[in-house]
Amino acid sequence: MNQVHSSQIAQKYMSVIRSTQSKEGLEFCFAVGTIVIADKRKPVVLVRKKGLTSLRRVLENMNYKTTNGIQEPSDFKFLRSGTGRMNKEGVIVVRLAKGGMAKFMAIRTQMRLYFKDLRVSMPAIQEAEPLTEEDLNLFEIAAQATSDELPSNDDQEPVGTLEGGRR
């Protein structure tokens, strides 16, 4: 995949997140993990309009842009995935999916560190109720129907999503 963790991609992620504030029912999906780059553990985040089920694999395969160029990470650890939206007050409200080893406080910390490392401002974030299996299915159906209302967040759509790929 040609997507690389960088300031530009973090700005695109924030654009997708902010655009969910404009209309009730719009949500984004995300995954959070950590990697090792140049012997340092770094947080990594992936934000998409749809394709929650494929985020972990995509996040694991993304490279990281450093001052020394693009580097391939090692020692990926998946923390958690979920969905979210920005409320009218400008706070990101997330719902965590089952699976993964991190609780909300760790996810919030890692997301803040990720955006801070890439010099992108991140609004406050809070937790809502956890996602159920039915919520996940409803998210994928709604995401397929509303994805045109959110800005593009990368050049490639994820493969293997619940909705069966692209329209």
The stretch 97-116 carries a mean pLDDT of 93
pLDDT for residue 163: 34
Confidence band, pLDDT 50/70/90 cuts, at residue 32: very high
Q: Compute the distance between CA of residue 42 and CA of residue 32 in angstroms, rounded to an integer.
A: 11
Q: Compute the distance between CA of residue 133 and CA of residue 115 in angstroms, rounded to an integer.
A: 29
**125: number of Cβ within 10 Å:** 18
Q: Is the pLDDT of residue 159 over 90?
A: no
Confidence band, pLDDT 50/70/90 cuts, at residue 153: low
Q: Which residues pair with 31 in a beta bridge?
A: 46, 81
**124: number of Cβ within 10 Å:** 12
Phi and psi at 144, nearest 5°, equal -65, -40
The stretch 126-136 carries a mean pLDDT of 91
Q: Compute the distance between CA of residue 49 and CA of residue 158 in angstroms, rounded to an integer.
A: 10
Q: Compute the distance between CA of residue 128 and CA of residue 137 in angstroms, rounded to an integer.
A: 18
